[in-house]
Amino acid sequence: MTSPAPAHAAPPPEADASAPDEAASARRGFAVLLGEFRRTAVLVPLDAYGSLWTADQDGVRWICAFSDEETLAAFARAQGDADREWTYQRVLGARLLDVMVPLLPGPGGVALDAGSPDGMLFPPVRGVVPDDVAVDLEASR
């Protein structure tokens, strides 16, 4: 049996009333960005075999996409590979998430503007990618 907390003890972190508001605000902000991404054509570089450029990290395959040619060029320079011609396709964000991600082996998402200060991840979770390829976070807890 535990003794009650002393009267002067700070409330537990989950009792902070601003935390739910901040989380809800962050979810709304992400939903806006996701909607904008889904409606926007982005540049997706192709690898030497003509496939969409992807990167693996921690068991997730990320399709690399870029907002514009300047951001793609900065990525190429950062990779030390700016001397070659980078072939790319323009692809609607919704098509990447709804069609291309499900074709990837295992969990996948989209990394937008990787390496830039404005970079963003669209992870393989419900509400971002189709439910049948989403990673169910609740089941892993």
CA distance 111 to 36: 15
Domain with 108, as residue range(s), is: 41-133
Q: Is residue 122 part of a domain?
A: yes
Give the pair of three-digit tokens for residue 129.
Answer: 């990618």
Nearest C-alpha neighbor of 27 from the set 130, 133, 125, 106: 125
Longest CA–CA separation in the chain, Å: 69
Q: Is residue 31 part of a domain?
A: no
pTM across the whole model: 0.79
Q: Is residue 93 part of a domain?
A: yes
Q: Is residue 3 part of a domain?
A: no
pLDDT of residue 46: 94
More confident residue, 10 or 28: 28
In one-letter notation, the amino acid at residue 85 is E
Residue with tokens 């009650």: 4
CA distance 50 to 62: 16
Domain count, the chain: 1
Q: Is residue 67 part of a domain?
A: yes
Q: Is residue 8 part of a domain?
A: no
pLDDT of residue 123: 94
Give the pair of three-digit tokens for residue 127.
Answer: 């509400």
Q: Is residue 78 part of a domain?
A: yes
- pLDDT per residue as tens digits for the range 61-104: 999 999 999 999 999 999 888 888 899 999 999 999 999 999 99
Q: Is residue 77 part of a domain?
A: yes
**Other Cβ atoms within 10 Å of 111 Cβ, number:** 22
Count the helix, strand and coil residues of the chain and give each as a percent rounded to the nearest 5. Answer: 35, 25, 40
> Would the CA dihedral through 14, 20, 26, 30 be positive or negative?
positive
